[in-house]
Amino acid sequence: MDTVPSDAALQALARTVGERLAARGEWLATAESCTGGLIAKLLTDIAGSSRWFERGAVTYSNLAKQQLLGVTGDVLQRSGAVSAETVQAMAQGLLARAPVQWTLAVSGVAGPDGGSTERPVGTVWIAWSGTRVASGASRFLFAGDRDAVRRRSAEAALRGLLDLVAAAPA
């Protein structure tokens, strides 16, 4: 992921996700913070996505993460919004609330400000959860401006989901 993914590359990736989910008869929901709904947009740009995309939540604030996804204030206070614990709670909270087999969640520091020594600009956590797989999260440090960080985050989230779906029992 050295280069910033183009619109065409992101659209092709989203199309592949949709094809794989549709072939399995499975559904996806997304919970996004720093990507601001970019992943849901990419997925719903595809004609026929209503057969495999159930919902997307933009939970930009901590309050939204708590109210819509069930992330506890304790997790947010202890770990911060940009952490493995928080994105896993986002993904699992959405999985518990939506009639889907798959969720993904993203939270990060897209910039240009908001970074810290612990979480510099470009720090992004992504979590994936499924009904038949263990939840997992990965940390990324993406270079570039706000748009580049968001695009790279969307790409990593969709690629990670494809890998999980491919490895999961049907």
The pLDDT tens digits of the residues spanning 50-85 come to 999 999 999 999 999 999 999 999 999 999 999 999
Q: What is the DSSP string of 58-93?
A: E--SHHHHHHHH---HHHHHHH-SSSHHHHHHHHHH
The number of distinct structural domains making up the chain is: 1
- pLDDT at position 97 is 98
- The Cα diameter of the chain in Å comes to 44
pLDDT for position 134: 87
Which residue ranges in the chain fall short of pLDDT 70?
A: 1
Any domain includes 61: yes
Closest CA to 5 of 161, 150, 107: 150
CATH number for the domain that contains residue 83: 3.90.950.20
Amino acid 135: pLDDT: 87
Between β-strands 102-108 and 53-58, what pairing exists: parallel, antiparallel or unpaired? unpaired
Of 44, 13, 21, which is closest to residue 103 (Cα–Cα)? Answer: 21
Bridge partners, 115 (sequence order): none
Which of 109, 168, 114, 169 is CA-nearest to residue 136? Answer: 168
So what's the pLDDT on residue 170?
82
Domain coverage including residue 48:
7-167
Position 115 scores a pLDDT of 84
Report if residue 146 sits inside a domain.
yes
Residue 1 lies in a domain: no
Q: Identify the pLDDT of residue 139.
A: 98
pLDDT of residue 147: 97
Distances (CA, A) of 124 to 22, 24, 157: 28, 29, 10
Residue closest to 84 by CA, chosen among 29, 128, 39, 139:
139
